Structure 1
Amino acid sequence: MSAKIYAGVIASFSLLFAPASWAAIKEYHLNIDQGMVNITGKSVKRMTVNGKFIAPLLEFEEGDEAVIHVHNQLKDQDTSLHWHGLLLPGLMDGVPGFNGFKGIQPNGSFEYRFKVRQNGTYWYHAHSKGQEQDGLYGALVIYPKGKQPVAQHEKADRDYVVMLSDFHETNSDQIMANLKKSAEYYQNQRETVGDVWQQVKQKGLKATWQDRSMWNQMRMLKTDLSDVTGYTFLVNGKTPQQNWTGAFSAGEKVRLRFINASAMSFFDVRIPNLKMTVVSADGQPVQPVAVDEFRIGAAETYDVIVEPKQVHYQIEAESIDRSGFAIASLQRDTVAPPAQIEMPKARPRALLTMQDMGMDHGTHAQMDMKDMDHTAHKPMSTDHLDHTAMKMSDMDHSSHDSMGMGKMNDMHQQQMTSQHENVKAESVQGWANASTPIGHKALQYADLKSLTPQPDTRPAERELVIRLGGTMERYMWTMNGKKFSDAEPLQVKFGERIRLKFINDSMMAHPMHLHGMFMQLENGQAAIDMPNKHTVVVPPGQTVTALLTADELGEWAIHCHLLYHMSAGMMNKLIVANVDDSKTVNQPNETAPSEGARHAHH
């Protein structure tokens, strides 16, 4: 027997008879480079891992020793990888300028090595400049020990990752430069004249006039649901036309692991004619919730169990600005899939309301407008309206000449009923309104309950208030009024129980992500049942709170997971330190990474 084979046999036997404390080593090599990719019919240079766009699925079992060798083959830029949602030592978290990690230089390598302490659906992505948008992201699945399901209701015959992402033909540096030029650069979904008529019809002329005046005063757009448009939405790196397909056999249960790996997109996810049972949120098991659809913010994950009965189903993830779909299929394995997919009809796009601005009935009480600089938004006169949806010549204006406003109101209502019903679907008001069909159940945060009791149910000892805001003129996003480079780190004592209070003073939703630890979302459940989350969506004008046991020492990033919001400043450092050590780690963020490592693009 050759020495090489003999050594291999010995190694195999060692693993076979190893004590339980010896973890299996699971090793990967990831080569990060750039290459030409063609997703939309146009070849563009994007990030590749091991020569492919997108990065590969990494699989582990709880208890494994993960060893991931990352080789930076880029010629001219640093890179990094962050293991999103994983509990690990600070140095392994992969954020340049945190915990002594300096990023991975060109032609350099870094070995990530950590014990896998959990199971569930997670993902990984770059934390350097805009590399995540440009393709440096992948799914990461950790199976329970021995691949046994966590609970009986989680048993499934098939297991698929459904990773949603947004692909742009423009590279991330240029997108950021465009946003810096004008926060409205991508706002091509302005309100139409039809939208105004709908509002008059629903609320009357006076209320419409007051509402418009207030939006004019703020110089803001009601249609500002997404900062960036022009995306093609992908499932596991495939376009709707390429139609990623998961097979199933009759009578099988299928687990679908949904990951929102997009840079800037929220999705409303549904599988027409197929109920979904949510069993996990952000990788953490929850008590089963049967739903017809769910909204998923950037960086969130949800696992669902489905029991397909038909031959074919279409998975439909619609972006909340209604600009497109990520599409995939579930297909009975004995039947050939349809020749082409059917693009679903878009649901109505919601218009933001004063409630989304943190105001009720036109009062500014809940939000100080002078804290926000809206000068980039031109007053919302008719130049904000898209007149293409409706020809003004089609309207009969003859009766308006001598009428007062009150009569005009009645007249408009009558005319619109007869003439403009077909112009546009009924306007949908409010960020949270997904146009869920009547009788269908959409998942709410309040539905989530931890599957197992929370080990720490102490009330919070103190509260950390984090106000989320922005200056639109320079496309700058802030936490507590400061961008990352100007902010003092947040300080927490090791073992302390704190409440994170996210107050959204902006008109955009922010998926707020905490590295290194799970938060317990305060969603109306008893403390023992609160769900664990690594990312919480804070809707426009709303406040969301979460409890945190600071049980991981280190410097942890806390930031909005919309890439260009983080890049433009909506990020801070949360330092968890033993009381005696706090003096040694308290430094302003200026001393941390370079602008490049902090993802800022200038």
Structure 2
Amino acid sequence: MNDMMRRRSVLSAGALGLAGLGLSKKFPAWAQTGSSGLQGDSPALSGEDIRLRIAHDMFKVGGRTGHAITINGVLPAPLIRLLEGQNVRLHVENGLDEDSSIHWHGLILPFQMDGVPGISFPGIKPGTTFTYEFPIKQSGTYWYHSHSGLQEQMGHYGPIVIGPAGADPVAFDREHVIVLSDWTFIHPHQVMAKLKQKSAYFNRQKQTLTDGAMSAAERARWGGMRMDPADIADVGGSTYSFLVNGHGPDENWTGLFKPGERVRLRFVNASAMTIFNLRIPGLAMTVVQADGQHVRPVETDEFQISVAETYDVIVTPTADQAYTVVAEAIDRSGMARATLAPRLGMVAAIPALRRRPTLSMRDMGMGDMGMADMGGEACAPEHAAMGHCTPGAPAAAMNHDMRDKSSVPPNVKVGVGVDMIAPMPVDRTGDRPLGLETEPHRVLTYHDLAPLVPFHDTRPPARSIDIHLTGNMERFMWSFDGKKMNEGAEPIRFARGERVRVNLINNSMMNHPIHIHGHFFELVTGKDHGHPIKHTVNVMPGGKASFDLTADAPGDWAFHCHLLYHMHAGMMNVVKVRPMVGSGAA
């Protein structure tokens, strides 16, 4: 056990010195059950000077209590309400015994205020206060969280709502901020250690001999490749409690409404590792914002919200009844659950967890091939290109070693950290999310999103770059282009003002929500209604996603997978935006 873990164990055992601290629930007003959602009923932090204090605390859910890191003594952290066009000074005191930080996720600001230690500022030392100061240049739903160690997993996150300077294009009668997250009583450094020792340590949904989802021959082929088609999430419901505004499923956070009202729900996925499939049975949702940016209203029955994404939806319940908000973990190992109701105490039926999805050849980056296509006498060349077999060898001999290096892209470093190169990755931004492919109701995809106002830069990209999402799933090693940050990864360099197409190519069999700091981008969907403007994109297994970026923010910016343990394991890099060569700028 290292010194940090030992120190935290002492703290959680009682060294906080305050008897009963945190044993009663402590929620900010906006996150309390029975919230009206009416302006003025849920005080938030606002104005030009805001004070935040990061500290050790305790948190209770499901009858158990564990060590947390909170801001101003509450979990989730306080709601910050700002106004487009104002200036803000956020004075952040670090009451921990270790460095900390706050990153303002999705906000456009000077890079020195972005809050990433080692990239944009030194971090906040224990017992010191750092003042973030910047103008507010946007409106919408955002959030803030630690970018130090694994503090985000322990409760260091909260929402930001920024009102528009002019009229809001979205009409609503009341609103509820709904922050989704995952909580574990296992210290995050121990979670990381267990994942490194055995990547499937927390997977309690592995295939069994009696599982009827696939044939014995298919199971044998997956085993021959040393892959598990049930490897959907690294940490699931056997370890996590899934929370809505800090409340576990049995605690049933409830937001109120009056029948006939237009209710705005601002969803934030502040999880460390959990991607949610979200629906409200019996109630259609009209999506009006994605990542804080207005979209043309589009009605749906379910959408996936990946880690770090935000979605605003409008619902108009007309009946005097309760509705269940269901946020099902992508691996179906559990759910976060809440209620919308006219009166406190009302409940609605809670649907059972749906059948657990399994991965396919498409998720392996093999196009639309089925497992049956791999059962021939010999190994196909495209399989050999991925290193799963050698030409002329029986399919049964396939394994998950990368043997044929000839097909590896030139910018990818091959080594123990890369165990797979997808041979036929395809654009999957229009695909329904994993497990929702055959649902009879409407399911949102990125192709359904169109900006309400077009992106400000209409120039075509002058160049393109490929960034491969790489890893070794068995060893829990993650990287970009086979290179971990601080282990040989060259920064990604853009000239200030240039327009670049970035192609994200997922060579793994896991979803990766990729986030760039300090910028928004246009996600390329091929649709003529305009490309959605986002700061985070979920890249599906074996798939591709492209975005057009205008590098208009000088400085050094973090670029990473927002699955916390993937980032911590190395899937992170630095984007450097510098003046054009010959511009005369310093």
Shorter chain as normaliser: what TM range? 0.7 to 0.9
**In structure 1, the residue corresponding to 2:172 is in which secondary structure?**
coil
Corresponding residue to 1:216 among 223, 231, 238: 223
What is the match of residue 394 of structure 1?
none
**1:454 and 1:376 mapped to 2: Cα distance?**
38
**1:165, distance to aligned residue in structure 2 (A):** 0.4
Corresponding residue to 2:171 among 155, 166, 175: 155
Corresponding residue to 1:259 among 268, 287, 290: 268
**2:74 and 2:452 mapped to 1: Cα distance?**
37
What is the match of residue 180 of structure 2?
164
**1:474, distance to aligned residue in structure 2 (A):** 3.2
- What is the 5 A alignment of 1:447-466? 447-466=448-467
1:78 is aligned to 2:86: no
**2:558 and 2:512 mapped to 1: Cα distance?**
15
**1:454, distance to aligned residue in structure 2 (A):** 2.0
User: Rg: which structure is higher?
Assistant: 1
Corresponding residue to 1:313 among 323, 335, 338: 323
Amino acid at match of 1:31: R
CA deviation profile, 1:133-166 (whole Å, cap 9, x unmatched): 01100011101126x31x2xx2000011111000
What is the match of residue 31 of structure 1?
53
1:337 is aligned to 2:366: no
Q: Which one has more relative contact order, counting CA pairs under 8 Å at least 6 apart?
A: 1
Relative distance call for 1:191 and 1:473 in structure 2 (3 A) is: closer
Check the 8 A contact 2:432/2:445 in 1, yes or no: no
**1:42 and 1:159 mapped to 2: Cα distance?**
31
**1:52, distance to aligned residue in structure 2 (A):** 1.8
**1:434, distance to aligned residue in structure 2 (A):** 1.8
Check the 8 A contact 1:352/1:431 in 2, yes or no: no
Check the 8 A contact 2:330/2:435 in 1, yes or no: no
**1:218, distance to aligned residue in structure 2 (A):** 2.2
What is the match of residue 368 of structure 1?
386
**1:26, distance to aligned residue in structure 2 (A):** 2.4
Relative distance call for 1:86 and 1:96 in structure 2 (3 A) is: same
What is the match of residue 543 of structure 2?
542
1:129 is aligned to 2:144: no
CA deviation profile, 1:376-403 (whole Å, cap 9, x unmatched): 99xxxxxxxxxxxxxxxxxxxxxxxxxx
Check the 8 A contact 2:139/2:163 in 1, yes or no: yes
1:93 is aligned to 2:93: no
Check the 8 A contact 1:182/1:376 in 2, yes or no: no
Amino acid at match of 2:568: S
Amino acid at match of 1:48: T
Corresponding residue to 2:160 among 130, 140, 147: 140
What is the match of residue 248 of structure 1?
257
Amino acid at match of 2:187: N
CA deviation profile, 1:432-470 (whole Å, cap 9, x unmatched): 2326532x1000110010101222122211112110111
What is the match of residue 433 of structure 1?
435
The total of aligned residue pairs comes to 491
Amino acid at match of 2:345: P
**In structure 1, the residue corresponding to 2:48 is in which secondary structure?**
strand
Check the 8 A contact 1:374/1:473 in 2, yes or no: no
- Give the % identical residues: 46
**In structure 2, the residue corresponding to 1:463 is in which secondary structure?**
strand
**2:245 and 2:177 mapped to 1: Cα distance?**
8
What is the match of residue 350 of structure 1?
357
**1:430, distance to aligned residue in structure 2 (A):** 9.7
**2:139 and 2:352 mapped to 1: Cα distance?**
37
**In structure 1, the residue corresponding to 2:93 is in which secondary structure?**
strand
Comparing 445-454 with 341-350, which one deviates more in the overlay? 341-350
**In structure 2, the residue corresponding to 1:241 is in which secondary structure?**
helix
**In structure 1, the residue corresponding to 2:53 is in which secondary structure?**
strand
Relative distance call for 1:522 and 1:451 in structure 2 (3 A) is: same
- Alignment gaps of 5+ in structure 1: 1-23, 201-207, 378-428, 586-602
Relative distance call for 1:461 and 1:288 in structure 2 (3 A) is: same
TM-score normalised by the chain length of structure 2: 0.80
What is the match of residue 45 of structure 1?
67
- Alignment gaps of 5+ in structure 2: 1-45, 375-379, 388-401, 403-413, 421-430
**1:341 and 1:37 mapped to 2: Cα distance?**
27
Relative distance call for 1:512 and 1:581 in structure 2 (3 A) is: farther
Amino acid at match of 2:117: P
Check the 8 A contact 1:348/1:435 in 2, yes or no: no
Check the 8 A contact 1:312/1:337 in 2, yes or no: no
**In structure 1, the residue corresponding to 2:195 is in which secondary structure?**
helix
CA deviation profile, 1:46-87 (whole Å, cap 9, x unmatched): 101112222111111111111111000112x10000000000
Comparing 556-565 with 342-351, which one deviates more in the overlay? 342-351
**1:217, distance to aligned residue in structure 2 (A):** 2.9
State the Cα RMSD in Å: 2.4
Check the 8 A contact 1:452/1:529 in 2, yes or no: no
Relative distance call for 1:582 and 1:542 in structure 2 (3 A) is: farther
Amino acid at match of 2:299: A
What is the match of residue 574 of structure 1?
575
CA deviation profile, 1:29-58 (whole Å, cap 9, x unmatched): 111011122113222111011122221111
Check the 8 A contact 1:509/1:537 in 2, yes or no: yes
- What is the 5 A alignment of 1:224-243? 224-229=231-236, 230-243=239-252
CA deviation profile, 1:484-538 (whole Å, cap 9, x unmatched): 1120101100011001100000011100000000010001223x72111100000
**2:474 and 2:248 mapped to 1: Cα distance?**
34
- Give 1 or 2: higher helix fraction: 1
Check the 8 A contact 1:436/1:442 in 2, yes or no: no
What is the match of residue 177 of structure 1?
193
**2:302 and 2:438 mapped to 1: Cα distance?**
8
What is the match of residue 81 of structure 2?
59
Amino acid at match of 1:313: Y
- What is the 5 A alignment of 1:580-595? 580=581
Check the 8 A contact 1:355/1:430 in 2, yes or no: no
Relative distance call for 1:435 and 1:490 in structure 2 (3 A) is: closer
1:488 is aligned to 2:504: no
**In structure 2, the residue corresponding to 1:133 is in which secondary structure?**
helix
**1:116, distance to aligned residue in structure 2 (A):** 0.4
Amino acid at match of 1:328: A
